[in-house]
Structure 1
Amino acid sequence: MTDLRTPTRTAAARAIEEAAHRAEPLSLDELNERSALLSRFDRSYLVPTGTFLRVIGHLTRPSPHAVPFRALAIDGRRAFRYHSVYYDTPELRSFHDHRQGRRLRFKIRERLYADSGERQFEIKLKGRRGDTVKHRRPLTGADTPLDTAARAFLADTLHHAYAIAPPLVLGPSLSTDYLRSTFVADGQRITCDAGLVCVDPRTGRTVRCDGGLVLVETKSAEHLTEADRLLHAHQVRPAVFTKYCGALAVLRPSLPANRWRRAARRAFTPEGASAP
Structure 2
Amino acid sequence: MTALDSVRPVVGALRPIGLDELVAQASLLTRLDRKYMLPVADLPFFLGGLDEDTRVLEADGAREFGYRSVYFDTPEMDGYLGAARSRRRRFKLRIRTYLDSGQHFLEIKTRGPRGTTVKQRVPYEIPDRVPDGVPDGVPDEMPYEGDVRRLGPEARAYVDSVLAEAGINSRRFRFGPALTTYYRRTTLFLPATGSRLTVDTDLTWVLPDGTTLRTPDRTIVETKSGRAGSGADRLLWSLKHRPCPVSKYGTGLAALRPDLPSNRWLPVLRRHFPTAPDGSSA
Q: Which residue of 1 aligns with 2:175?
A: 170
Letter paired with 2:22: L
Measure how far apart 1:16 and its partner are. Answer: 4.8
**SS of the residue 2:163 aligns to:** helix
1:52 equivalent among 43, 55, 58: 43
Structure 2: distance between partners of 1:265 and 1:228 = 23
Instruction: Output aligned runs, 1:182-197, within 5 Å.
Output: 182-186=187-191, 187-197=194-204
On the 8 A contact 2:29/2:119 being kept in 1, the answer is yes
Kept in 1: contact 2:4–2:41 (CA 8 A): no
| Larger RCO (CA under 8 A, 6+ residues apart) | 1
Q: Which of 200, 214, 226 does residue 207 from structure 2 map onto?
A: 200
SS in 1 for 2:50: helix
The corresponding residue for 1:251 is: 256
Residue aligning to 2:88: 103
Provide the aligned length of Structure 1 versus Structure 2. Answer: 255
Unaligned runs of 5+ in 1: 1-9, 62-67
> Which amino acid is the alignment partner of residue 96 of structure 1?
L
- Structure 2: distance between partners of 1:17 and 1:137: 32
Name 1:235's counterpart in structure 2: 240
Q: Give CA-to-partner distance per residue, 1:214-269, whole Å, 9 cap, x none.
A: 21001112241111111011111112211111111110112110221221233334
Residues 121 and 174 of structure 1: is their aligned pair in 2 closer, same or farther, counting only changes over 3 Å?
Answer: same
% identical equivalent positions:
40
How far apart, in 2, do the equivalents of 1:49 and 1:163 lie?
38
Aligned to 2:143: none
Q: How far apart, in 2, do the equivalents of 1:141 and 1:96 lie?
A: 28
Matching residue within 44, 59, 62 for 1:74: 59
Distance 2:171 2:13 in 1: 45
In the alignment, the residues of structure 1 paired with residue 27 and residue 237 of structure 2 have an alpha-carbon distance, to the nearest angstrom, of 25
Moved over 6 A (4+): none
Is the CA contact (8 Å cut-off) linking 1:106 and 1:125 kept in structure 2?
yes
More deviation, 189-198/40-49? 40-49
Alpha-carbon deviation of 1:167? Answer: 4.5
1:194 partner amino acid: T
Q: Structure 2: give runs of 5+ residues left out of the alignment.
A: 128-146, 278-282
Bigger Cα displacement from structure 2, 237-246 vs 190-199: 237-246
Instruction: Name the TM-score, length of structure 1 as normaliser.
Output: 0.86
The corresponding residue for 2:78 is 93
Report if the CA contact (8 A) 1:176-1:198 is conserved.
Answer: yes
1:37 counterpart residue number: 28
1:140 equivalent in structure 2? 125
TM-score normalised by length of structure 2: 0.85
Report what 1:5 is aligned to: none
**Preserved contact between residue 3 and residue 41 of structure 2 (Cα < 8 Å):** no
Distance 1:18 1:149, change over 3 A: farther
Letter in 2 for 1:261: L
Q: Distance in 2 between matches of 1:107 and 1:226?
A: 28
SS at match of 1:162: coil
